[in-house]
């Protein structure tokens, strides 16, 4: 059987390993409770940090491929290799050394462990080891600073090269655009110059033609004036003789025209008188025949018809004995056709009032 001490200064109890559960029961320091409680948050942040690192690595690889494809920039490792740190020859005592895994100890075991600990030599400070540790820490710090500086230089170099290429491309595009604009403007200016030259040439031709026409007209007027001045006295006698000859010819022509006109007037008047006399004779004969036939004077309607025929210079005697022959659609000879036309005109004159 195990011996249990009777001294009340010690409280011996069985200690078991910590299992997953409520760890706050086994933590003595109050500052550790938050870490234990928020282990899930810490785990999530660790996983998120790994995912972000992986995402940044993939993004950097894609960006390097993009620069290589578009600008021909290849990633060059310009960072220096870190120097290998030689570990110290004397092994240093580590503060994070693992303790004994057997926690199920009795009082005797604890007393024995305490005695063994008291027999161990007292820890002595080693300035050389501390200096070596500080030296390693400073060397690592300087290496990190150097790596950061090289990284910043590389980034600046890449940005400067990229910016230079972008500026060169923009300048080239600007020069091409300006060249196209200038070429187009020069083409328009050339067309305008050619058109203005053609207009000026046409204006010169028009002015020359006008001057030529003015000179010709002036010369013609001068010639006419000289001819009129120098030949006026010479042609006075001839012009006077020609005037009297032309005057006599015109008078003779007028006399002949007047005589012919008077002859025509007399003949037309004689013909008109003859037709009137013939109409009067025809009217008397018709009136006598009407009285003899009907034993009465012609009424007013018949006299009005005879008056219309006389005024319109139509024959008082009918050309056809039977007027109904005009409406019969029978073919007639050329001699009778003229008679039919005269009779139709006479009937139309009778119908008119």
User: What is the mean predicted confidence (pLDDT) over 230-237?
Assistant: 59
Calpha distance 213→219 (Å, rounded): 10
| Percentage of the chain exceeding pLDDT 90 | 14
The residue among 213 and 102 whose pLDDT is bigger is: 213
Please say if the pLDDT value at position 283 is more than 60. yes
Give tens-digit pLDDT for 21-34. 555 454 556 667 77
How much is the average pLDDT of 304-327? 67
Residue 309: how many CB atoms within 10 A of its CB? 19
pLDDT at 309: 75
Q: What does the pLDDT read at residue 278?
A: 82
Domain residue spans in the chain? 281-319
Residue for token pair 């119908």: 351
Q: 292 vs 4, which has greater pLDDT? A: 292
Evaluate if residue 338 carries a pLDDT over 90: no
CA distances from 285 to 20, 272, 282, 290, 319 (A): 167, 20, 5, 9, 15
**Mean pLDDT, residues 302-314 taken together:** 74
> Measured between alpha carbons, how far is 196 from 45 in angstroms, rounded to an integer?
81
Q: Mean pLDDT in the chain?
A: 77
Virtual CA dihedral for 42, 44, 48, 51, nearest 10 degrees? 120
Q: pLDDT-derived band of residue 101, with 50, 70 and 90 as boundaries?
A: very low
Helix, strand counts (H, E) of the chain: 7, 0
For residue 49, name the pLDDT band (cuts at 50, 70, 90): very high
How far apart are the C-alpha atoms of 289 and 326, rounded to whole Å? Answer: 25
């Amino acid at each position: 059987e195990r011996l249990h001490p009777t001294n009340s200064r010690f409280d011996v109890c069985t200690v078991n390993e910590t299992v997953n559960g409520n760890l706050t029961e086994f933590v003595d320091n109050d500052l550790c409770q938050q870490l234990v409680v928020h282990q899930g948050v810490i785990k999530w942040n660790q996983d998120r940090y790994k995912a972000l690192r992986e995402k940044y690595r993939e993004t950097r690889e894609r960006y390097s491929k993009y620069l290589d494809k578009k600008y021909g920039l290849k990633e060059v490792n310009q960072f220096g290799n870190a120097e290998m740190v030689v570990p110290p020859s004397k092994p240093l005592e580590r503060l994070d050394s693992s303790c004994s895994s057997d926690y199920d100890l009795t009082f005797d075991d604890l007393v024995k462990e305490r005695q063994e600990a008291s027999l161990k030599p007292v820890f002595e400070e080693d300035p050389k080891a501390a200096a070596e540790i500080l030296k390693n820490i400073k060397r690592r710090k300087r290496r990190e600073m150097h790596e950061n500086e090289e990284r910043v230089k590389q980034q600046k170099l890449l940005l400067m090269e990229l910016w230079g290429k972008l500026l060169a491309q923009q300048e080239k595009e600007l020069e091409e655009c300006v060249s196209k604009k200038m070429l187009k403007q020069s083409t328009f200016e050339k067309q305008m110059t050619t058109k203005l030259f053609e207009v000026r040439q046409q204006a010169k031709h028009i002015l020359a033609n006008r001057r030529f026409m003015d000179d010709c007209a002036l010369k013609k007027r001068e010639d006419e004036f000289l001819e009129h001045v120098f030949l006026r006295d010479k042609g006075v006698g001839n012009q006077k003789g020609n005037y009297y000859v032309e005057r006599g010819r015109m008078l003779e022509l007028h006399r002949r025209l007047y005589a012919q006109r008077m002859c025509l007037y007399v003949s037309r008047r004689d013909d008109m008188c003859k037709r009137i006399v013939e109409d009067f004779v025809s009217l008397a004969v018709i009136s006598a025949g009407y009285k003899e036939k009907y034993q009465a004077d012609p009424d007013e309607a018949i006299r009005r018809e005879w008056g219309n025929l006389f005024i319109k210079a139509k024959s008082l005697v009918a050309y056809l004995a039977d007027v109904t022959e005009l409406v019969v659609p029978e073919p007639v000879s050329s001699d009778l056709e003229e008679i039919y036309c005269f009779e139709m005109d006479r009937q139309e004159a009778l119908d008119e009032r």
